[in-house]
Structure 1
């Protein structure tokens, strides 16, 4: 592993860990290699569920929906234990059925999940909204890898040196689309917003949990963005894990949760350039994703 520090011509500063050619956020535990080995070799129980989502695409939204469906309770569950950022034993201590999370590319997930053990769920989002949300989050944290302008971060986000997804969003999606196991479900952020109840029903069926319509509608109400944001503010305790990079030991998880918020951030030129790269990458990589960047 090497620690990479880049300063571009506009004095934007970018720092990440590089291992075997892949970029990793500096908060990834240790030398990356050992943590990845532990993750790859992790024993997966048949009733384990992994919420694996590209950063700022709806991780906490999906995680809390899964938790409500699996527990039969409308209680807010906070943040998932993330495999790459927290001590390996945190997941080992969990009582079954276990639900945990990751932002890693699918190629780095547990080997047992790659052969169908446990379940994996994700949610995909317009990459323009993602980069907008990621940039705002980085502005509200200590130095976890980027200090600079939105233009500078946009250039990095579109490159294979984007530490948020161990490469570009396009490569992350490519890995996801190559996951051919029946233990996988992908939802759309935009559709989840528009048709929340239908997606809750779809998720419940995939998780093989049996609830009546009234409970599923209650879940749909309980996971509305403003309710989750308020619950996070009220119930999430400060964490020693994040005290050095956040103001009060709480990560700024929720901002707006809107579709199309990128329009408040992108210039016309930035949007047009993004569209060109999006079209080119989707065609070159043969991506099937229907996510729009408009």
Structure 2
């Protein structure tokens, strides 16, 4: 494993862990090789649910929706434990049913889960929106791996040096498409915002939980962005895990949660360049993009 630091011509600084040609967030615990081996061998239970998702695609939104449906409670559950960031021994001893998260691309997930044990849920989001969201989150934090301009970060995001998903968003999506199994459900960020109740019903059916319509509608109301943001800011306790990169260890997770906010950040030139790279990668990788973009 190499710790790579790139300083470009505009003095933007980008740091990540590199292993076998893949880029990893420097916050991945310890040696990447060892952590990937531990994750691959992680013992999956039949009732486990993994939120396997590209960063800033609605991780905490989906996690809290799943927890509400599985617990039968409208309580805000904060941040889920992450396979690459948290204590795996702690996760091994969590009582069933367990729900946890990961931003790792699917080839690095637990082998038993890839073979169909447990369930995997993901959200796909317009990559223009998520790169804007990711950039603003890192601006609020300490040295999470990037210090510089949006333009500089956008260039790395579009490359295979993107540490958000062990490579570009495009290759992350390709990995997801290749690993689809019957225990996998993909929802759209855009559609979840537009048709929240219908998607909550769909998710509940996939999770095999039985709730009446009144409760499902209550979940749909409880997971609206403003309510989750308020709960996060008022009830999430400080965390030692992230105190070195955020105030009191409370991650700045929620910003706007809007669809199409990229239009307030991208220049015309950046948007045109992004669209060109997007088209090239969709064709080159034969991607079957299943999300609605705006």
* TM exceeding 0.5: yes
- Tell whether the 8 Å contact from 2:12 to 2:149 is kept in structure 1 after alignment: yes
**Residues 1:172 and 2:172 aligned together:** yes
Displacement of 1:290 in angstroms is 3.4
- Once the two structures are superposed, residues 147-198 of structure 1 have per-residue CA deviations (whole angstroms, 9 ceiling, x without a partner) of 0000000000000000000000000000011123100000000000000000
- Once the two structures are superposed, residues 177-232 of structure 1 have per-residue CA deviations (whole angstroms, 9 ceiling, x without a partner) of 11231000000000000000000000000000000000000000000000000001
Equivalent residue number for residue 185 of structure 2: 185
Separation in 2, partners of 1:132, 1:163: 15
**Residues 1:124 and 2:143 aligned together:** no
Q: 5+ unaligned residues in a row in structure 1: which ranges?
A: none
Separation in 1, partners of 2:96, 2:14: 39
Match of 1:187, SS? strand
Equivalent residue number for residue 77 of structure 1: 77
Match of 2:228, SS? helix
- Once the two structures are superposed, residues 10-46 of structure 1 have per-residue CA deviations (whole angstroms, 9 ceiling, x without a partner) of 1110000001111100000001111111100011000
Equivalent residue number for residue 46 of structure 1: 46
Equivalent residue number for residue 150 of structure 1: 150
Separation in 1, partners of 2:225, 2:272: 30
Q: How does 1:98-247 map to 2 (within 5 A)?
A: 98-247=98-247
Compute the RMSD of aligned alpha carbons.
0.8
Separation in 2, partners of 1:146, 1:293: 26
Q: 5+ unaligned residues in a row in structure 2: which ranges?
A: none
How many equivalent pairs are there? 294
Match of 1:15, SS? strand
Displacement of 1:93 in angstroms is 2.0
> Normalized against structure 1, the TM-score is what?
0.99
Separation in 1, partners of 2:191, 2:8: 38
Separation in 1, partners of 2:263, 2:290: 20
Displacement of 1:247 in angstroms is 1.7
Separation in 2, partners of 1:185, 1:22: 25
Separation in 1, partners of 2:62, 2:293: 21
Match of 2:5, SS? strand
Equivalent residue number for residue 274 of structure 1: 274
- Tell whether the 8 Å contact from 2:188 to 2:292 is kept in structure 1 after alignment: no
- Once the two structures are superposed, residues 97-146 of structure 1 have per-residue CA deviations (whole angstroms, 9 ceiling, x without a partner) of 00000000000000001110000000000000010000000000000100
Q: How does 1:87-98 map to 2 (within 5 A)?
A: 87-98=87-98
- Tell whether the 8 Å contact from 2:160 to 2:166 is kept in structure 1 after alignment: yes
Q: How does 1:11-90 map to 2 (within 5 A)?
A: 11-90=11-90
Separation in 2, partners of 1:50, 1:76: 18
Separation in 2, partners of 1:117, 1:266: 41
Separation in 2, partners of 1:163, 1:150: 15
- Tell whether the 8 Å contact from 2:43 to 2:92 is kept in structure 1 after alignment: no
Match of 1:248, SS? helix
Displacement of 1:252 in angstroms is 0.3
Equivalent residue number for residue 283 of structure 1: 283
CA 180–290 in structure 1, closer or farther in 2 if over 3 Å, else same: closer
**Residues 1:6 and 2:6 aligned together:** yes
